[in-house]
Structure 1
Amino acid sequence: MRIFILTAFSLGMANTVLAQSPVSVEQVLRSNLTIAEQAILLPSGPVEVSASIFTIQPGASLPVHRHAFPRYGYVLEGTLTVNNLETGKTSSFKTGEFVIESLSKWHSGANPGTVPLRLLVIDQAPAGAQTTEVKK
Protein backbone atom coordinates (compact mmCIF):
# COMPACT_ATOMS: atom_id res chain seq x y z
CA MET A 1 0.00 0.00 0.00
CA ARG A 2 2.81 2.37 0.95
CA ILE A 3 4.50 1.74 -2.47
CA PHE A 4 1.22 2.48 -4.29
CA ILE A 5 0.78 5.81 -2.50
CA LEU A 6 4.42 6.78 -3.12
CA THR A 7 4.11 5.86 -6.83
CA ALA A 8 0.85 7.79 -7.20
CA PHE A 9 2.41 10.81 -5.48
CA SER A 10 5.51 10.62 -7.73
CA LEU A 11 3.39 10.41 -10.87
CA GLY A 12 1.30 13.34 -9.69
CA MET A 13 4.44 15.39 -9.04
CA ALA A 14 5.82 14.49 -12.49
CA ASN A 15 2.61 15.69 -14.13
CA THR A 16 2.72 18.90 -12.08
CA VAL A 17 6.35 19.54 -13.05
CA LEU A 18 5.58 18.83 -16.73
CA ALA A 19 2.58 21.16 -16.59
CA GLN A 20 4.83 23.95 -15.28
CA SER A 21 7.60 23.39 -17.84
CA PRO A 22 7.98 24.78 -21.38
CA VAL A 23 7.45 21.22 -22.71
CA SER A 24 4.07 20.11 -24.00
CA VAL A 25 2.87 16.79 -25.36
CA GLU A 26 0.12 16.56 -27.96
CA GLN A 27 -1.11 13.10 -28.90
CA VAL A 28 -1.37 12.84 -32.68
CA LEU A 29 -3.00 9.41 -32.91
CA ARG A 30 -3.78 6.38 -30.78
CA SER A 31 -4.94 3.28 -32.63
CA ASN A 32 -4.64 -0.48 -32.69
CA LEU A 33 -5.74 -0.72 -36.34
CA THR A 34 -4.16 0.01 -39.72
CA ILE A 35 -5.92 2.18 -42.31
CA ALA A 36 -7.30 -1.13 -43.71
CA GLU A 37 -8.81 -1.85 -40.25
CA GLN A 38 -6.33 -4.66 -39.52
CA ALA A 39 -5.03 -5.37 -36.01
CA ILE A 40 -1.46 -4.18 -35.49
CA LEU A 41 0.77 -7.09 -34.52
CA LEU A 42 4.47 -6.57 -33.98
CA PRO A 43 7.03 -9.06 -35.32
CA SER A 44 8.23 -11.56 -32.73
CA GLY A 45 11.89 -11.89 -31.83
CA PRO A 46 14.52 -9.20 -32.32
CA VAL A 47 13.10 -6.20 -34.15
CA GLU A 48 14.92 -3.50 -36.07
CA VAL A 49 13.42 -0.01 -36.23
CA SER A 50 14.30 2.19 -39.19
CA ALA A 51 13.23 5.76 -39.86
CA SER A 52 13.38 7.55 -43.23
CA ILE A 53 12.13 10.80 -44.68
CA PHE A 54 10.49 10.45 -48.08
CA THR A 55 10.20 13.51 -50.32
CA ILE A 56 7.62 13.05 -53.07
CA GLN A 57 7.29 15.80 -55.65
CA PRO A 58 3.88 17.26 -56.63
CA GLY A 59 1.96 14.89 -58.89
CA ALA A 60 4.37 11.98 -58.28
CA SER A 61 3.30 8.59 -56.98
CA LEU A 62 4.96 5.50 -55.58
CA PRO A 63 4.67 2.16 -57.41
CA VAL A 64 2.06 -0.32 -56.21
CA HIS A 65 3.54 -2.11 -53.20
CA ARG A 66 2.76 -3.80 -49.88
CA HIS A 67 4.34 -4.22 -46.46
CA ALA A 68 4.63 -7.45 -44.46
CA PHE A 69 5.55 -5.61 -41.25
CA PRO A 70 4.21 -2.53 -39.40
CA ARG A 71 4.95 0.78 -41.12
CA TYR A 72 3.98 4.17 -39.75
CA GLY A 73 4.08 7.56 -41.44
CA TYR A 74 3.85 11.13 -40.22
CA VAL A 75 3.20 13.88 -42.76
CA LEU A 76 5.76 16.62 -42.16
CA GLU A 77 4.60 18.75 -45.12
CA GLY A 78 2.07 18.38 -47.92
CA THR A 79 -0.63 15.79 -48.55
CA LEU A 80 -0.39 12.01 -48.91
CA THR A 81 -3.10 10.06 -50.71
CA VAL A 82 -3.09 6.27 -50.26
CA ASN A 83 -5.13 4.12 -52.64
CA ASN A 84 -5.69 0.54 -51.41
CA LEU A 85 -6.14 -1.59 -54.54
CA GLU A 86 -7.64 -4.51 -52.62
CA THR A 87 -10.30 -2.64 -50.63
CA GLY A 88 -10.85 0.21 -53.10
CA LYS A 89 -10.51 2.68 -50.21
CA THR A 90 -8.65 5.95 -50.71
CA SER A 91 -7.35 7.85 -47.68
CA SER A 92 -5.75 11.30 -47.49
CA PHE A 93 -3.39 12.61 -44.82
CA LYS A 94 -2.31 16.24 -44.42
CA THR A 95 0.53 17.98 -42.58
CA GLY A 96 0.57 16.88 -38.95
CA GLU A 97 -1.42 13.68 -39.52
CA PHE A 98 -0.25 10.14 -38.80
CA VAL A 99 -0.89 7.02 -40.89
CA ILE A 100 -0.62 3.36 -39.93
CA GLU A 101 -0.16 1.61 -43.26
CA SER A 102 -2.04 -1.53 -44.21
CA LEU A 103 -0.34 -4.91 -43.89
CA SER A 104 0.10 -7.21 -46.91
CA LYS A 105 -2.40 -5.25 -49.02
CA TRP A 106 -1.43 -3.81 -52.40
CA HIS A 107 -1.57 -0.02 -52.32
CA SER A 108 0.05 3.09 -53.73
CA GLY A 109 0.84 6.48 -52.29
CA ALA A 110 0.79 9.77 -54.16
CA ASN A 111 1.27 13.49 -53.72
CA PRO A 112 -1.80 15.17 -55.24
CA GLY A 113 -0.70 18.60 -54.01
CA THR A 114 1.29 21.49 -55.43
CA VAL A 115 4.15 21.35 -52.89
CA PRO A 116 6.60 18.54 -52.14
CA LEU A 117 5.30 15.92 -49.72
CA ARG A 118 7.69 15.18 -46.84
CA LEU A 119 6.83 12.02 -44.99
CA LEU A 120 8.60 10.55 -41.96
CA VAL A 121 8.36 6.74 -42.33
CA ILE A 122 9.07 4.32 -39.48
CA ASP A 123 9.36 0.56 -40.05
CA GLN A 124 9.45 -2.25 -37.49
CA ALA A 125 10.71 -5.55 -38.89
CA PRO A 126 13.04 -8.43 -38.14
CA ALA A 127 16.66 -7.31 -38.59
CA GLY A 128 17.60 -7.21 -42.27
CA ALA A 129 14.08 -8.01 -43.51
CA GLN A 130 12.74 -6.41 -46.69
CA THR A 131 10.02 -3.98 -45.55
CA THR A 132 8.44 -3.23 -48.94
CA GLU A 133 7.51 -5.51 -51.84
CA VAL A 134 6.88 -3.78 -55.18
CA LYS A 135 4.21 -5.38 -57.39
CA LYS A 136 5.64 -6.80 -60.60
Structure 2
Amino acid sequence: MKISEKTRSKIQKYSQTIFCCLAWILLISIVIQASLASLAIFVDASFWKNHLAFIKVLEYIPALMYIIGSAGEVPQKYKAWSFMLFILCNIQYYTDRGWMGVIHMVSAFFIFMISLYVAWGSYQYLFKHKKEVVNGYDDLYKNM
Protein backbone atom coordinates (compact mmCIF):
# COMPACT_ATOMS: atom_id res chain seq x y z
CA MET A 1 0.00 0.00 0.00
CA LYS A 2 1.42 3.33 -1.04
CA ILE A 3 1.13 6.34 1.26
CA SER A 4 0.15 9.62 -0.36
CA GLU A 5 2.64 12.48 -0.30
CA LYS A 6 0.33 14.58 1.89
CA THR A 7 -0.01 11.80 4.47
CA ARG A 8 3.72 11.15 4.40
CA SER A 9 4.42 14.84 4.95
CA LYS A 10 2.08 14.92 7.97
CA ILE A 11 3.71 11.81 9.46
CA GLN A 12 7.15 13.38 9.05
CA LYS A 13 6.06 16.69 10.55
CA TYR A 14 4.43 15.10 13.59
CA SER A 15 7.28 12.64 14.08
CA GLN A 16 9.88 15.41 13.95
CA THR A 17 7.88 17.45 16.46
CA ILE A 18 7.49 14.47 18.80
CA PHE A 19 11.22 13.69 18.46
CA CYS A 20 12.08 17.26 19.45
CA CYS A 21 9.68 17.18 22.42
CA LEU A 22 11.08 13.85 23.60
CA ALA A 23 14.62 15.20 23.32
CA TRP A 24 13.75 18.11 25.61
CA ILE A 25 11.86 15.82 28.00
CA LEU A 26 14.93 13.59 28.15
CA LEU A 27 17.19 16.54 28.90
CA ILE A 28 14.92 17.76 31.70
CA SER A 29 14.64 14.21 33.05
CA ILE A 30 18.42 13.91 33.20
CA VAL A 31 18.64 17.11 35.22
CA ILE A 32 15.96 15.76 37.58
CA GLN A 33 17.80 12.43 37.85
CA ALA A 34 21.09 14.15 38.69
CA SER A 35 19.29 16.33 41.23
CA LEU A 36 17.78 13.28 42.91
CA ALA A 37 21.23 11.69 43.15
CA SER A 38 22.65 14.88 44.65
CA LEU A 39 19.81 15.07 47.15
CA ALA A 40 20.43 11.44 48.12
CA ILE A 41 24.13 12.12 48.70
CA PHE A 42 23.99 15.50 50.40
CA VAL A 43 20.54 15.74 52.04
CA ASP A 44 18.78 12.46 52.78
CA ALA A 45 19.51 8.92 51.64
CA SER A 46 15.80 8.23 51.18
CA PHE A 47 16.04 10.03 47.82
CA TRP A 48 17.84 6.94 46.41
CA LYS A 49 14.46 5.25 46.05
CA ASN A 50 13.27 8.11 43.86
CA HIS A 51 16.53 8.08 41.89
CA LEU A 52 16.18 4.35 41.21
CA ALA A 53 12.47 4.57 40.34
CA PHE A 54 12.85 7.55 38.00
CA ILE A 55 15.29 5.74 35.72
CA LYS A 56 12.56 3.25 34.82
CA VAL A 57 10.84 6.06 32.90
CA LEU A 58 13.97 7.77 31.65
CA GLU A 59 15.76 4.80 30.08
CA TYR A 60 13.26 4.14 27.28
CA ILE A 61 12.98 7.71 25.98
CA PRO A 62 16.10 7.45 23.74
CA ALA A 63 14.86 4.20 22.17
CA LEU A 64 11.50 5.81 21.49
CA MET A 65 13.31 8.81 20.00
CA TYR A 66 15.22 6.51 17.64
CA ILE A 67 12.05 4.78 16.44
CA ILE A 68 10.12 8.03 15.98
CA GLY A 69 13.14 9.68 14.36
CA SER A 70 13.23 6.92 11.77
CA ALA A 71 9.58 7.45 10.93
CA GLY A 72 9.99 11.22 10.74
CA GLU A 73 13.16 11.26 8.66
CA VAL A 74 15.02 13.14 11.36
CA PRO A 75 18.67 13.73 10.33
CA GLN A 76 20.81 10.62 10.72
CA LYS A 77 23.15 12.21 13.28
CA TYR A 78 20.32 12.82 15.75
CA LYS A 79 18.99 9.29 15.33
CA ALA A 80 22.51 7.91 15.88
CA TRP A 81 23.01 10.04 18.99
CA SER A 82 19.64 8.93 20.38
CA PHE A 83 20.72 5.30 19.91
CA MET A 84 23.99 6.10 21.70
CA LEU A 85 22.00 7.68 24.53
CA PHE A 86 20.02 4.46 24.88
CA ILE A 87 23.26 2.47 25.16
CA LEU A 88 24.78 4.90 27.66
CA CYS A 89 21.63 4.87 29.81
CA ASN A 90 21.79 1.09 29.98
CA ILE A 91 25.51 1.09 30.78
CA GLN A 92 24.62 3.10 33.88
CA TYR A 93 23.23 -0.10 35.46
CA TYR A 94 26.68 -1.71 35.37
CA THR A 95 28.61 1.26 36.71
CA ASP A 96 26.85 1.91 40.01
CA ARG A 97 29.02 -0.27 42.25
CA GLY A 98 32.34 0.45 43.94
CA TRP A 99 35.04 2.21 41.96
CA MET A 100 32.82 2.08 38.86
CA GLY A 101 30.80 4.87 40.49
CA VAL A 102 33.27 7.33 38.97
CA ILE A 103 32.40 6.02 35.50
CA HIS A 104 28.72 6.25 36.46
CA MET A 105 29.08 9.97 37.16
CA VAL A 106 31.21 10.72 34.08
CA SER A 107 28.83 8.74 31.89
CA ALA A 108 25.93 10.75 33.29
CA PHE A 109 27.76 13.93 32.29
CA PHE A 110 28.18 12.61 28.73
CA ILE A 111 24.52 11.62 28.63
CA PHE A 112 23.61 15.17 29.62
CA MET A 113 25.89 16.74 27.00
CA ILE A 114 24.68 14.48 24.19
CA SER A 115 21.06 15.09 25.22
CA LEU A 116 21.64 18.82 25.13
CA TYR A 117 23.17 18.52 21.65
CA VAL A 118 20.28 16.41 20.34
CA ALA A 119 17.59 18.59 21.95
CA TRP A 120 19.02 21.85 20.68
CA GLY A 121 19.89 20.43 17.26
CA SER A 122 16.48 18.87 16.72
CA TYR A 123 14.83 22.14 17.79
CA GLN A 124 16.92 24.11 15.30
CA TYR A 125 16.27 21.56 12.56
CA LEU A 126 12.54 21.56 13.21
CA PHE A 127 12.15 25.33 13.03
CA LYS A 128 14.71 25.88 10.27
CA HIS A 129 12.97 23.19 8.24
CA LYS A 130 9.56 24.82 8.80
CA LYS A 131 10.95 28.21 7.79
CA GLU A 132 12.42 26.75 4.57
CA VAL A 133 9.08 25.20 3.69
CA VAL A 134 7.24 28.46 4.30
CA ASN A 135 9.84 30.47 2.38
CA GLY A 136 9.75 27.92 -0.42
CA TYR A 137 6.01 28.48 -0.84
CA ASP A 138 6.50 32.25 -0.70
CA ASP A 139 9.10 32.04 -3.47
CA LEU A 140 6.78 29.84 -5.50
CA TYR A 141 3.99 32.41 -5.35
CA LYS A 142 6.35 35.32 -6.11
CA ASN A 143 7.40 33.67 -9.37
CA MET A 144 3.81 33.28 -10.58
TM-score with structure 1 setting the length = 0.23
Quick check: which one's helix share is greater? 2
Quick check: which one's strand share is greater? 1
